[in-house]
Structure 1
Amino acid sequence: MEYKELMKRAIEAKKMAYVPYSKFHVGAALLTKTGKVYTGCNIECASYGGTNCAERTAIFKAVSEGERQFEAIAVTGDDNQYTFPCGICRQVMVEFGKNIKVIVGKSEEDYKIYTMDQLLPHSFTPEDLGHQCGGC
């Protein structure tokens, strides 16, 4: 799948966002290694800790369906800026690989591509557990 198409799916997912507090819609589209696409939107809650980002919504949907290997994720927001994943989303993403492509875009035509390793250098991953704590 082309990244342009993945961004298009993220833009569509953004329309489903539940954002009564921030009014800031975010959409994500996650491409798995098997070629499936899972979409997500941000879902806010009056108790802000209960809010879930679009990226994690898409990832959790994929994981709940048995997917564990991801190729890329496209992310887009409301403003005319590139909307990057927050720190929590970056940590969840890197859990599944440092080489996942993260496409942040303003439109289907205007986007930038990064790897998780670029967005979260020196990350803590499952592979690090044996190195960080002596194999606990």
Structure 2
Amino acid sequence: MSLLDAATKARENAYAPYSRFKVGAALRTPSGNVYVGVNAENVAYPEGTCAEAGAIAAMCAGGDYKIAELLVISDSPTPVTPCGGCRQKIAEFAGPDVAVTMVNLQGVTSVVTVADLLPGSFNAGHMANVDANGV
């Protein structure tokens, strides 16, 4: 199954009763496994979760920890980019050259790299001087 097909199918199951803005995400790991996620809103808006975060959590639950490619689909006039928090989450599991495809339901597509999405990302290299006790 293509990432577009997987994300499109998953998007239909998004829980968006407040905004009615459904988002689906699908990612592929280097081993070829595909994981999907959807946005899940909450009446207390900050407590909702994004589709990208859901796909990443599913990936970890499946025992994979590396993103080879990612696609996000939404019903918007232009492709929607991942939010700032999801950009950081993506960067945790994907190298800077990994492609992130954003597409809307009309097929308008934008493809960027993780480095384009989050230049100067905070990463594990910044933690090099921290020991096992967090000091």
1:28 is matched with 25
Provide the C-alpha distance between the structure 2 equivalents of 1:25 and 1:16, rounded to a whole number of angstroms. Answer: 8
Q: Secondary structure at the match of 1:70?
A: coil
- Flag the 1:108–1:67 CA change in 2: closer, same or farther, 3 A: farther
Q: Write out per-residue CA displacement over residues 15-44 of structure 1, whole angstroms, 9 at most, x where no aligned residue.
A: 010001111000000111110100111000
Provide the C-alpha distance between the structure 1 equivalents of 2:25 and 2:106, rounded to a whole number of angstroms. Answer: 13
How far did 1:83 drift?
Answer: 1.1
- Flag the 1:62–1:76 CA change in 2: closer, same or farther, 3 A: same
Name the TM-score, length of structure 2 as normaliser.
0.88
Deviates more, 1:73-82 or 1:98-107: 98-107
Q: Secondary structure at the match of 2:69?
A: strand
How far did 1:99 drift?
Answer: 2.6
Which residues in structure 2 correspond to 1:98-109 (within 5 Å)? Answer: 98-107=96-105, 109=107
Aligned residues: 129
1:127 is matched with 125
Which residue, 52, 65, 72 being the options, matches 1:55?
52
Which residues in structure 2 correspond to 1:1-136 (within 5 Å)? Answer: 5-97=2-94, 98-107=96-105, 109-130=107-128, 135-136=129-130
Q: Secondary structure at the match of 1:76?
A: strand
Alignment root-mean-square deviation, CA: 1.6
Structure 2 contact 75–105 (Cα < 8 Å) conserved: no
Structure 1, unaligned stretches of length 5 or more? none
How far did 1:109 drift?
Answer: 4.9
Name the TM-score, length of structure 1 as normaliser.
0.88
**What is the percent sequence identity of the aligned residues?**
36
Structure 1 contact 7–107 (Cα < 8 Å) conserved: no
How far did 1:80 drift?
Answer: 2.6
Amino acid at match of 1:77: S
